[in-house]
Chains A and B, each alone.
Chain A
Amino acid sequence: MSADLLELRNIRVAYGRAQVLRGISLTMAAGSIVTVIGANGAGKTTLLNAIMGVIPVSGTILYDGMPMPASIEARVAAGLSLVPERRELFATMSVEDNIELGGFLRPAAERLVTRQMLYERFPRLAERRKQLAGTLSGGERQMLALARALMSRPRLLLLDEPSLGLAPRIVIDILEIVSELRKTGVSILLVEQNARAALEIADHGYLVELGEIRRSGPASQLSHDPALMESYLGLMPQ
């Protein structure tokens, strides 16, 4: 019995004949932040969708040492929560409704408490609680997506490119919130293109290239690995 919260063994995903993930194996300890980095098209988003159950996979996913339940709703109930790359907010509904719906599987009394807590953490959302989600700015949307995901009181939060399309100032805010979340006991699997910033807050990192893990190691070590620069900017010796 290991202390690993999540363990992937040889995960493969194919769209038709196209292999997007070619046998990914990784482990993540409870209470840690693990980041998966890599250039566009490496398969990072697919990996998160596979863990959440949005797409079918072959291979084994263990959660808390047990096989992962099948349906998305069972995974949410077991403590998984995904903030997707495109946020997937309910644009024509109010901020408050969006947040409340995040707790769809939780009892009403608990929802009230969690919501209050989230409003304290994200005062901007409290100010805009009656506004429609579609009218928020990019940074506010990301916060709302995060708040909605936290409403289900996750044990494992999957974050897909939280900095995508956001101005640098807001990226700092978001990543600060992420590292604070860990202190409350939430484990975080962070997919980021902003590799330097991600490695800064993570404990452990995986560099993914063409659907395979190319490097892994402690975050501090990985950020100085030449493979990183190479993977992103193609500084291969020609």
Chain B
Amino acid sequence: MDATIATFLIQDGLTSGAIYALLGLALVLVFSVTRVIFIPQGEFVAYGALTLAVLDGGRMPATASLLVCFGLFSFLVDLWAMRREMTGARALRSAMIDLVLPAAIYIAALLLIPLGLPSLAKALLTIVIIAPMGLYVYRVAYRPLADASVLVLLIASVGVHLAMMGLGLAFFGAEGLRARPLSTGNYALGPLLVTAQSLWIYAATIAIIVGLYLFFEKTLPGKALRATAVNRLGARLIGVPTQFTGVTAFVLAATIGAVSGVLIGPITTIYYDTGFLIGLKGFVAAIIGGLSSFPITAIAAIGVGIIESFTSFFFSSYKEIIVFGLIIPVLIWLSLGVGQHEEE
């Protein structure tokens, strides 16, 4: 192996590692705040990438209709939950969030798409369509289970994953799609040839990490989310509503998923089920971070990306086996750390 191949592989690993890092961070975020192991995270990636690809074709993405469906479903669930103590104000609030918001996004998309948007605007539109889905997924699937055990929530996550993947298939079909890059062009960096898209990926990853850091360290809602992760009862006692933290965590996760989709869509062909596998790589990283540490997760994700890029070069057929096999020793190591402090 010569230096050129090595640098190429490292760059390739960094690029996918950055995406895995975003997903890993979202998984850690959701788990630490809500105890949900969010397997469907990858579906948001697929939705994002596929939406962008359809927008590239100047057509209306199916996810916009899907969003309206999600909202409608969520509204029905809200009404059912409120059946005993319905008030006009609460019904109106639900209607605004569940019906008006998705309808507004749908109409905006309908009006904007024929204008022939620039790529950045298409990316933003994609994110605006996908992000609110986090809210509805939380509302419909997880909030009724808020007091359930981690295991029940995990099984529910598998259910949500199946449903969302199936919807992806129904709305986008089995064909893979590839989006156009945000900007084309290459930059020579010494011996390295860096594509503009990978620069976008690095920049977006860094921006999101910095943004998350500022949110969690400097704002009161961010601190309230951290507080919930550290001590659930303590957070409830100071008046942080469980619903608020859940919604925030899921919307952030969906947003991060959509961004990842927008970033990865142009560098690889995405099928309705690709998101799951990408998401699982983020999982490997999040698990290495013990589902609790943001920095370890980010570093582990880069590691996963680089290992994957090297294994796919040297023993490509064993790539998945190695990456997933890698989790097991980590899990054992993590389990040794727990177990000591059971309830007293």
Interface, chain A (partner B; CB < 8 A): 52, 54, 71-73, 76-77, 81-82, 84, 88-93, 97, 100-102, 104-105, 108, 148, 151-152
Decide if B240 touches A73 in the complex (CB within 8 Å).
yes
Q: Rank and list the top 5 A-B pairs by shortest CB-CB distance, nearest first.
A: A76-B239, A88-B234, A73-B239, A105-B239, A90-B230
User: Which of chain B's residues have a CB closer than 8 A to the CB of A101?
Assistant: 220, 223-224, 227, 235, 238, 240
Nearest CB of B to A151, in Å: 8
Q: Which B positions have Cβ atoms within 8 angstroms of A?
A: 220, 223-224, 226-227, 230-231, 233-241
A53 closest partner in B (C-beta): B236
A104 touches B237 (CB 8 A): no
Residues of A within 8 A of B226 (CB): 90, 93
Inter-chain CA distance A157–B97, complex, in Å, is: 36
B236 touches A54 (CB 8 A): yes
B239: chain A residues within 8 A (beta carbon): 72-73, 76-77, 104-105, 152
- Partner of A84 from the list B220, B223, B237 (CB cut-off 8 Å) is B237
The answer to whether A72 and B236 have CB atoms under 8 Å apart is: yes
A100→B223 contact, CB < 8 A: yes
Choice from A71, A91, A102 contacting B238 with Cβ under 8 Å: A102
Q: Which residue of A lies closest to B226 (CB)?
A: A93
Pair A82/B237 contact, Cβ less than 8 Å: yes
Residue of A54, A81, A90, A93 most packed against chain B (CB within 10 A) = A90
B231 surroundings in chain A (CB, below 8 A): 88-91
Q: Please name 18 pairs of A and B residues whose Cβ atoms are closer than 8 Å in the assembled complex, sorted by A.
A: A54-B233, A54-B237, A72-B236, A73-B240, A84-B234, A88-B231, A88-B233, A90-B234, A91-B230, A92-B230, A93-B223, A93-B227, A100-B220, A100-B223, A101-B223, A104-B220, A105-B239, A152-B239
Given pairs A90-B231, A104-B220, A148-B238, 17 additional interface contacts (CB within 8 A): A52-B237, A54-B233, A71-B241, A72-B237, A73-B236, A73-B239, A84-B234, A88-B231, A88-B233, A88-B234, A89-B231, A90-B234, A93-B227, A101-B220, A101-B238, A101-B240, A152-B238
A76 close to B230 (CB less than 8 A): no
User: How far, in whole Å, are A219 and B227 apart by their CA atoms in the complex?
Assistant: 38
Count of CB-CB pairs between chains A and B under 8 Å: 64
Which residue, B220, B224, B230, B237, has most C-beta atoms of chain A within 10 A? B237
Alpha-carbon separation in the docked complex, A73 to B239 (Å)? 4
Complex: how many Å from CA A89 to CA B238? 10
Given the complex, which residues of B lie within 8 Å of A148, measured CB to CB?
238
The interface residues of chain B lying within 8 Å CB-to-CB of A81 are 237
| Assembly CA distance A54 to B238 (angstroms) | 12
| Smallest Cβ-Cβ distance to A105: which chain B residue | B239
Nearest A residue to B233 via CB reads A88
**Chain A residues whose CB sits within 8 angstroms of the CB of B224 once the complex forms:** 101, 104
Residues in B neighbouring A105, C-beta threshold 8 A: 238-239
Closest to B234 in A: A88
Interface centre among A54, A81, A104, A152 (most CB of B within 10 A): A104
CB distance from B18 to the nearest CB of A (A): 27
**A89's contact among B223, B234, B241, by CB below 8 Å, is which?**
B234
Least CB distance, B226 to chain A, in whole angstroms: 6
The docked-state distance in angstroms from the alpha carbon of A108 to that of B223 is 14
A88–B237 CB distance below 8 A: yes
Q: How far is the CA of A152 from the CA of B230 in the complex (A)?
A: 20
A77 to B230, CA, bound (A): 22
Query: Nearest Cβ in chain A — how far from B15, in angstroms?
Result: 32
Contact partners of A151 in chain B: CB under 8 A? 238
Using known A-B contacts A73-B240, A104-B240, A152-B238, determine if residue A84 contacts B233 with beta carbons closer than 8 Å.
yes
CB-CB nearest in chain B for A97: B223
Enumerate chain A residues within 8 angstroms of B240, measured Cβ to Cβ.
Answer: 73, 101, 104
CA distance A193 to B177 in the complex (A): 68
| Known contacts A90-B227, A100-B223, A104-B224: A76-B238 contact under CB 8 Å | yes
Q: In the complex, which residues of chain A have a beta carbon less than 8 angstroms from the beta carbon of B236?
A: 54, 72-73
Nearest A residue (CB) for B85: A70
Bound CA–CA A88/B240 (angstroms)? 14
Residues of B within 8 A of A88 (CB): 231, 233-234, 237
Q: A76's closest neighbor in chain B, by CB?
A: B239
The distance from the CB of A175 to the nearest CB of chain B, in whole angstroms, is 22
Task: Give min CB distance, B256 to chain A, whole Å.
Answer: 23
**B220: chain A residues within 8 A (beta carbon):** 100-101, 104, 108
* Complex alpha-carbon distance, A101 and B239, angstroms: 9
Known contacts A100-B223, A104-B220, A104-B224: A93-B230 contact under CB 8 Å: yes
| Residues on B with beta carbons closer than 8 Å to the beta carbon of A97 | 223, 227
In the bound complex, what is the Cα–Cα distance between A92 and B236 (angstroms)? 17
Kindly state the separation between the CA atoms of A100 and B223 in the bound complex, as whole angstroms. Answer: 9
Contacts of A92 in B (CB 8 A): 230
Which chain B residues lie closer than 8 Å to A54 at the CB level? 233, 236-237
